[in-house]
Structure 1
Amino acid sequence: MLYLDCAATTPPYDEVIDTIAEVMKTHYGNPSSIHGLGVQAEKLLHSAKEVIAGAIGVQPANIICTSGGTESNNLAIRGAAYHYQNRGKHLITTQIEHPSVKEVFYGLEREGFRVTYLPVNRNGCLELETVKEALCEDTILVSVMHVNNEIGTIQPVQAIGQLLAKYPKVLFHVDAVQGVAKLPFSPRAWGIDLCSVSAHKFRGPKGAGFLYRREGVQLKPLLVGGGQEDGLRSGTENVPLIVGMAKALRLSMQNLPEKLEHKYRLRRYLVDGIVSIPELTLMGSERNEEMAPHIVHFAFAGMKAEVVVHALEQRQMYISTKSACASEASDPSEVMLALGCTREQAVSGLRISFSDELQIEDMERFLLALREVVRELSPMLGKSSVKRGKQR
Structure 2
Amino acid sequence: MIYFDNSATTVIEPQVLKTYTDVATKIMGNPSSLHNLGTVAERMLQASRKQIADLLSKEPAEIYFTSGGTEGDNWVIKGVAFEKKIYGNHVIVSAVEHPAVKESAEWLKMQGFAVDFAPVDKNGFVKVDALAALIRKDTIFVSIMAVNNEIGAIQPIREIAELLANQPTISFHVDAVQAIGKIPLTEFLPERVDFATFSAHKFHGPRGVGFIYIKTGKKIQPLLSGGGQENNRRSTTENVAGIAATAKALRLALTDFDRKTAKLLAMKQVLLAALATYSDVVIFSQTENFAPNIITFGMKGVRGEVLVHGFEAHDIYISTTSACSSKAGLASSTLVAMNVPPQIATSAVRISLDESNHMAEIEQFLTIFKQLHEKFQKIK
TM-score between the two structures when normalised by the length of structure 1:
0.95
1:351-391: per-residue Cα shift (whole Å, max 9, x none)?
0001012222221111111111111112233xxxxxxxxxx
For the residues of structure 1 that align with 2:121 and 2:276, how far apart are their CA atoms? Answer: 20
Instruction: Report matched runs for 1:272-287 at 5 Å.
Output: 272-284=273-285, 286=286
For the residues of structure 2 that align with 1:78 and 1:373, how far apart are their CA atoms? Answer: 45
Other-structure match for 1:157: 157
For the residues of structure 2 that align with 1:190 and 1:4, how far apart are their CA atoms? Answer: 34
For the residues of structure 1 that align with 2:217 and 2:191, how far apart are their CA atoms? Answer: 16
Secondary structure of the 1:217 match is: coil
Deviation at 1:300, TM superposition (A): 1.4
Other-structure match for 2:80: 80
Deviation at 1:322, TM superposition (A): 2.0
Secondary structure of the 2:361 match is: helix
Other-structure match for 2:367: 368
For the residues of structure 2 that align with 1:188 and 1:333, how far apart are their CA atoms? Answer: 27
Is residue 244 of structure 2 the alignment partner of residue 216 of structure 1?
no
For the residues of structure 2 that align with 1:188 and 1:331, how far apart are their CA atoms? Answer: 32
Other-structure match for 1:171: 171
Gaps of 5+ in 2: none
Amino acid at match of 2:379: M
For the residues of structure 2 that align with 1:356 and 1:280, how far apart are their CA atoms? Answer: 26
Other-structure match for 1:334: 333
For the residues of structure 2 that align with 1:109 and 1:301, how far apart are their CA atoms? Answer: 37
Change in CA separation of 1:190 and 1:125 when aligned onto 2, cut-off 3 Å: farther
Secondary structure of the 2:162 match is: helix
Secondary structure of the 1:328 match is: helix
Instruction: Report matched runs for 1:187-336 at 5 Å.
Output: 189-284=190-285, 286=286, 288-336=287-335
For the residues of structure 1 that align with 2:232 and 2:276, how far apart are their CA atoms? Answer: 51
1:64–1:213 contact (8 Å) kept in structure 2:
yes
1:151–1:295 contact (8 Å) kept in structure 2:
yes
Change in CA separation of 1:97 and 1:188 when aligned onto 2, cut-off 3 Å: closer
Secondary structure of the 2:55 match is: helix
2:296–2:321 contact (8 Å) kept in structure 1:
no
Instruction: Report matched runs for 1:40-55 at 5 Å.
Output: 40-55=40-55
Other-structure match for 1:390: none
Secondary structure of the 1:335 match is: helix
Question: How many residues in Structure 1 have an aligned counterpart in Structure 2?
Answer: 379
Amino acid at match of 2:197: S
Secondary structure of the 1:235 match is: coil
Change in CA separation of 1:158 and 1:338 when aligned onto 2, cut-off 3 Å: same
Deviation at 1:188, TM superposition (A): 5.5
Deviation at 1:304, TM superposition (A): 1.3
128-137 or 106-115: bigger deviation: 128-137
For the residues of structure 1 that align with 2:91 and 2:378, how far apart are their CA atoms? Answer: 48
Deviation at 1:249, TM superposition (A): 0.5
Other-structure match for 1:94: 94
For the residues of structure 1 that align with 2:259 and 2:321, how far apart are their CA atoms? Answer: 28
1:57–1:188 contact (8 Å) kept in structure 2:
no
Amino acid at match of 1:172: F
Deviation at 1:189, TM superposition (A): 3.1
Deviation at 1:28, TM superposition (A): 1.1
2:150–2:332 contact (8 Å) kept in structure 1:
no
Secondary structure of the 1:266 match is: helix
Deviation at 1:289, TM superposition (A): 2.7
Amino acid at match of 1:147: V
180-189 or 340-349: bigger deviation: 180-189
For the residues of structure 1 that align with 2:191 and 2:370, how far apart are their CA atoms? Answer: 42
User: % of aligned pairs identical?
Assistant: 39
Deviation at 1:238, TM superposition (A): 0.3
2:73–2:197 contact (8 Å) kept in structure 1:
yes
For the residues of structure 2 that align with 1:270 and 1:56, how far apart are their CA atoms? Answer: 32
Amino acid at match of 1:206: R
Secondary structure of the 1:370 match is: helix
Other-structure match for 1:388: none
Amino acid at match of 1:10: T
Secondary structure of the 2:267 match is: helix
Amino acid at match of 1:242: I
Secondary structure of the 1:289 match is: coil
Other-structure match for 2:117: 117
1:319–1:350 contact (8 Å) kept in structure 2:
yes
> Moved runs in structure 1, 4+ residues, more than 4 A?
none
For the residues of structure 2 that align with 1:114 and 1:231, how far apart are their CA atoms? Answer: 29
Other-structure match for 1:352: 351
1:208-247: per-residue Cα shift (whole Å, max 9, x none)?
0001000111011111011111111100000000000000
Change in CA separation of 1:227 and 1:55 when aligned onto 2, cut-off 3 Å: same
Amino acid at match of 1:351: R
Deviation at 1:270, TM superposition (A): 1.0
Amino acid at match of 1:245: T
TM-score between the two structures when normalised by the length of structure 2:
0.98
Deviation at 1:56, TM superposition (A): 1.2
Amino acid at match of 2:214: R
Other-structure match for 1:106: 106
2:119–2:131 contact (8 Å) kept in structure 1:
no
For the residues of structure 1 that align with 2:206 and 2:297, how far apart are their CA atoms? Answer: 29
Secondary structure of the 1:229 match is: helix
